[in-house]
Structure 1
C-alpha cells in the first residue's frame, strides 16, 4: 500500500488562505503515524473539510493516530448508534482501569474518541442536530456513571457499603442540570451537577464513615477525575454552584435535607434551574423519589404568573452582565439568543406546569411544541422559535468544535467568520449573518411579547416616563397624593362616591392581609392597584365595581401570585372589572375561588362554555393529572372543574352570549358530567375493596348495575345557578346469590347502599374548593324514611301501588342522568307505564289544585308590592303544575306526552296532540322562558327571584286565567 502524503489530501471547498494550515496538520498526522510505526490508509474524502472546521479533531488524531485510524475503520462515522452502543463503548474502554490515574486516562480517551465521532458526523451533515445533542448528552451520562461506579467500588473496598438505619445500601444520585439535564448538551459545555443520597446512616466496613462523609469524598473524587486537565485533556468542566447554598453549602445532601432546603430557602431562579434536573448517574431508582420531592417546589399547583417577573429580572441581569463583558455578539446570552428561547418555554412551564403535568418536560423543543398544541402560543411563533433554536444550536456547536472551547461569541477575524459561515452551509459571512440576524430578531421579538411588562414602574426613570394620570393613581394608592387631590382623581374616574371609594382604598391598604405582605407581595400589590383604578374609567357603575374588586384583592393579597396574574395580563384585569360590574354573584364567586381568575386569561374560552362532550373531555383532562387514589386531590379537581364551568356559563350569560334555554342546558350538562364521574369513582373504589356485585337470574350469571335518576330542574334540563340536585338511586340486582365477588364480599343491597352514601358524601362535603352540589333524595319511595337505593322492580311497585299524585307529577320531570344504560332504559319504560295509567280527571284536577293551593299558602309572597316569579299565583309553578296535570290526564290516550321531561317540549307535544291551542301554548312557553331568564339575571345580581308586582302584570294575569279555566 502506498503511504499517502499531505499533497494527496483533497482540499476542494477549502479557502485558499486556509489550505497551508490544513497541509501542516496533515504532515503532523503523518509524522505521528511514522513515529509509532503505523501505516495510514487513504485520506477520507471529508477529512480536510472536518479538520478545517475543527482543529480539535485534527489534534486528537495527531495525539493518538492509532485510535483515530481505528475509528475510521470501525464504520462508526457513518452510522447512528443503537440503544446501548454508547454505554458499551465507554464500559469496554474503562474495564482495564486499575487505579485512579488509569481511570482518568481512559475516561479522556473514551471521551475524545466519541467527541471526534460526533464532530465528524455533525460537520459532514451525516447527523441531525437532534442526533448530535442526543449523542453528546448520552456520552456524558455514561462517562459520569461509569466513573462514579468505579470510584464507588474503590471507596467501598476501603470503607464498606454505605447503608441506612434499616441496612439498605445507599448510592449517590447525580442530578444533571441545564442542557445536560434537558438532554441537549452542547459540544464543549460545562456540566452543572447536584449530588444527593437517599438516607442517612454509615458504611459497614472496618473504617466506617458517616454516609454524608462517604458521599462527600466520593463526590470530590468524581469532580477530580472529570474536571482535572491532563496530557489527554479533560472529561468535563464541572460546576457545582447550583447546589443548595452554592459554593458555601455542603457538596452532598440527603433527600430530606434537600427537601427542607427548597421548602425553606428555595428561590425563583432555583425553580427555573430544577426544571431540567435529571438523574444522569448513580441510583436512578431513588432519583424518582427525589424528583417527586422536588416537584411541588418547581411546579406550583396554581398558575404562577409571578414567574414572569422573576425571569424578566434574571434576563435583565444576564443582559447587563453580557453588556459589561462585551458579549453583545453572544448567541447564547445576547438579545435573541438561545437563553431567550429557553426563557420563553420555561416561563410557561413555571406558570402552568403545576396545573398541567403535560408541560413538565425537560427539553425545550418538546415544551415549545406542546405550547403550540395547546394553543398557548401561536403556531407560527413556535415554528419561528424552533427554527431559530435549531440554527443557533448548530452555530453554537460549530463554534465550539473549532477548539473544544466553551464559547458562544461570534468570531471577529474575517477568516474565522468565513470558516463558521461555510460550516453552516453559507457561501460567505454576509449571507450567514443575515440569516442569523433574522432568527435572533424573531426570538427577541417573541421574548419581548411574552415578557413585556408595560405596567411596571420599578425605578425612577420608568416612573418619570409614566403619564401624569397613572402617576396620580400610583400616588393615590400609596397615600401620598393628599386627600383633596385624591378625591379629585377618583371623581375623574366617574365615581359618584369618591369619599367612600377613598375610605375603601385606605381600609385595604391598612388591613392586616396587606400590612403583612412580603416585600415581593407588596411590590406586586403596589403595581396592581393603580392599574385596577385605571380600568374603572368608562364603566357604568364604577362605585359598585370598585367595592367588589377591593373585597377580591383583600382575599387574594396573601397569594400574591394572583396579583401577578392581573399585573401581567391587562386583558384579564379588564375582564375581571367587566364581570364584577355586571354581576355581584360572579364577583363573589371569584372572591371565594380565586383559582378561577386563571379563566380570565382567554376570553375565547371564558365566553364559550363547552357542550356536553367538551365537558367530558375537559374533566378527563383535569383528572388525568392527579392520582386517582388521592381522594382529596380528586375531590378538589372536581370542585374546581365545576366552579370553572359554571363561571363560563355565567360569563356567557351575563354578556348575552347564551339564551336562557342554553344556560340551563349547560348547567345541567355540568351536573350530569360530574355525576357520571363521581359514580365511576365511587364504584371503582368499592369494587376494589369488595369486588363486583353478582347474582343468578333464572340460573344464569348476571352483573347488576346502578343508575342515578334526576328529578325537578335536573330531570327537566332546567338547572339554574346554585340549584340543588333532586336525585333517586336505582339498582337492578335480583335473583339468587346476590353478593359481591371480592375478598371482603357484601350483599348487593348493602353494596349499592354504600354507593349511594358515598355519592352523597362526594357531592356534598365541603373542601377548600367548596362543595359540588346540595342534594335532595326525598323523592325516593317513602321519602326520607325509605331506602336510599331502590331496586327497579320495587320502584315500579311503589309508583303503581303506593305513590301519591304529587309523586307522579314529579315523575313527569324525571329522567336517568348517570349510570347503567340498561337501568336507564328500564326506568324510561317504567316511567311511561306509570304516567300513562288511566286516571279520573276530576279527582286528578282536585288533587293537583289542592297541592298547588297548599304551596301558595306556605310559600307565596306576603308583600302585595312584589311578585315571586317561582311561587306566586301566575308564576312558574302554575305553568309547571298545569303541564304536569295535562300529561297525567291525557297520557293514556296520547303516550307521546311522556317522551320528554322538560316543560317546553311537553308544551310542544300538547300542540301536536291538539290538547292546547297553539297560541296558548306559545304564550306559556314564552312566558316560562322570560320568567326563568329573569330568575337567572336576578341570581347573578344576588337578588331574590321576585320583581315589582307591576312587572309582567299582563303575563301573570293571563297565566292565572289559564289556571282558572283548566284547574277549576
Structure 2
C-alpha cells in the first residue's frame, strides 16, 4: 500500500522551508491548535513537534491563502494527510469529472450542485498540490500537470452538464446521453498553458469554442448562435463565479476569432474562413499549444488538423521569415538596456522571463514546423528538446532554457501561492520578497536574487541572439504587446511613457487594427507592414500634444482606406511622410476628415516633389490638363474636376501645414486652382448646353470673380463669389439647337447648370459653394446678367458697397473679347470720380452696421474683430474709390489686398500702410492655417494641441499668449488707421 501524504511529507519536508517570522509563526501555531480542536484526527500528526508540523507551520506563515483554506476546511487537511498523495489527487480529479453525472436515482444534478462539486474538487487539488510543491515532492512539471488535469476535468464536466441541460430543455438532441459530448460537434480548445498542460497555480484558462451546425444535435439550426451563446455564458458562470466554495478557474473566451464582433461560440466553417483569410501572427503562435480539452474531442482534433497549414507553413521563405519578425515585434520585450531588477520584476513578461523562452521556441516551431512535423509539440520543454534533436538549436541552449523555464515557473507559482492571485510580479518590498525566497528554499533574499538574476540574464542572452540581426523595436521603447484581448501591463506603461493619456484605449485601437476589421488591414501582408511601423508610429504620435486624439484620427483614416499595403510600406520607409501624417492627425481635423472620407486625396502625398514644387498656376494647369485628357462625357469631366480639386486643395493645405508655403502663397494657390477648375466646368457646361440647345447667335459668356476669389485670397474652406456676364447679337431671339431657348432662358439655364456643376453634392464631394449675391440687384436680379445691363447698373444704380466689391472684381474665364469689354467697363466705373466724403461716410456707416449686426465672437474672430480683416479690406477699397477724386487712377482689379495697399500707397501715410500690411500678413497666415485645419471658430481650449503649435509658428511667436497679445496690438493699430483714413 502506498505511503500516506503525511508520511511522505514527514520524510522529505524537514528544513526545506522556513517560517517567515516569529509573528507569523505564532499565528500559524494558534491555527494548528484550533484545527486540532475542530478535527481531533489531526492530533496524531500535528500535536507533537516534528518535521510534518514544522513544515505546515512554515507553509502557513508563507502562504496566507493556504492558511485560509486550512482554517476554513481543516477536514480537507485530515483527508489529505491520511491518504496516499497521488491517489488522493486522482480521486479529486475524478470527482470533478463526474460532477455532472446523474445520481443513483438517475436524476441530473442541478447547476448549483455541479458548481459546488467542481469547487470542492478544485480546492482539494490546489491545496494538496501546493503543499507537495512546497515540500519538493512535486516539481514544477508535476504541479502544472495536476493543475491542468483538474482544469480539463472541470471544463469537460461543465460542458457535459450544459449539453445534458440543453437536451432536457428540448434545445438539443444528444446522440448518446451517457456520453453527452460524443458526436456533438461542440469543440472546446484549451489554449496557451492550458493546451500545453502547463497551467499556473492561479491561471486563467483560455478557451476557444467552435460548433458544427451540421453535427445534427440542434433541434433548430437557426437557433445555433443563441443556444450556444447562452450555453457559453453559463459555462463562464459555472467555472468562475465566486460562491461560498470559492471558484474553479477564471475563464477567458477572448482568444476566439475577432472577439469584438463574433459570438462566444463560432461556427467551424466561419472560423476556418477567418483563419485562412484574416488569421493573425499571434494566433498562429497561440494555436501551437491548442488542444481539445472538452466537448467533441474527435471533432476538435479534426479541426486542428485543418488548421495545420495556417499555423505551420509548408515552405520556409522570406514571407515566412518576415511573418516571424512581425510576431517578434508584437511580442517584444524590452531588452539590453539597463540592469535587470529583482524587486518588482515581471517573471512572465519582463526581460529574461517566461515569455521570452516560450517565444524562443514558438518562433522556430513556426519557421520549421511546416517541414518538420516533429517540432509541432505543445509543451515548451518538449519543443526545446525537439528543436535540439532536429539540430535547429544546440543541445546546450535547449538544456539552459529548459532549466531556466522551470526555475521561473517555480518562482511564478510561489508568487501566486501567496494570495491565490493571477500575478507574475515579484514583490517590491524586502519583507515580501523574503516570503518568496523562503518558499523556494533559499536562505535569504540575496541568495534568491543572485540565482534569479543569473537565470534572467541567461534567458535574455539566448533570446537576444535569436534576433540579433533584427532591430525590431528600439530597446529604448519598452514593451509593445498587442496580442490577444488582454492589455499587457508593461505595454500600458510604455504607451504612457510615449505620451498617451489613455493607454488602455490606444491598446484596444491597435488590437482592432490587427484583427483585420478594416479593409486596409484584412490582408496578412498589410498587417505585417503595419506591425513593423507601429513602434515608429506610436513614437511619432506620442511626441505630438494630445497624442490620443491624433492617433484616434489616424484610426478613423485607416477605417476608410480601401487598401493598406502600399501606404504602410511607404510610411514605414519614409520618416518624413510619417511625420507629415502625424502632423495632419495632430493639428488638422479637417484634413484628417477629408482623407478619411476620400482616401484617394492622400495619393498626391506620395509624390516626392510635393514639398519642393510650388503650386503655381502653370503647375496646376498642366496637372489638370493631364487629368482631364481621357475624360469624354460631361459627368465624367465633372467627377474628374471634383477629384482633382479635392486632391489639389488637400496638397496645397499640406504645403501650408508644413510651412513650405505661407498664408499669402496659399491664398494665391487656392485661387489659381479655383480659376482653373471653374473655367473647365464652365466650358463643359457650355458644351453640354450646345448639344441640347445649340448656340445663341453672337453669344458670349464671361465669369467675374468677386470677393476673395477676385483678390487671390481664397482659403481652404472658401466659397466662391461669381457674376456671370453674357452678350449676344441684338437680333438674336433664341438658340439654334434641337431644343431652342430664348436668350434670357438660355443664359439663365447655363448659369444654373454651372452652379449645379460646382456646388451639387456627389459621391466625389462638392467643387465649391457658389455665392452670386454680388450680381446686380443681388438675389432679386436674374442669375445671369447681360453686359450692357451690368454696365448701366454699375454706372447708374450701384451703391457704394457694390463699387467697393467691384474694386476686387477680376475676370477669370470665358470669351476673351467679352472679358476685355467687361474689364474696360469695371475700370471705367472705378475711375469715375465720386464724392470722397460721401464714400467715406458710406464705408464708415457700413462698418458700423456690420459691428452692430455681426459682432465678433472673440479676439480670434480675425475677420469681424475691430481692426481685423474687414477694416483692412475696407481701407483698401475706400482708397480705390476715393483715388479718382484725388486725381489718382489706380487699377486694383486682379490685385490682392496687400498689393492694392501698396499700389494706393500715395494716398495713405507710409507708416499706416505698413501697419496695415503687417497686420494683414499676420491675419492671413493665421486664418489660412485655421481654416485649413478646422471648421468653425478657433477656440484655444477646444482645438487640437497640434493646431495651437502650428498657429504659434505661423505667427512667429513663442507661445499662444504672445500671439494673442500681438493680435490685440495689431488690431488696435489698424483700428486707429481706419479711423484716420475713412473719415468724411
TM-score, normalised via structure 2 length: 0.47
RCO higher in structure (CA 8 A, sep ≥6):
2
TM-score, normalised via structure 1 length: 0.48
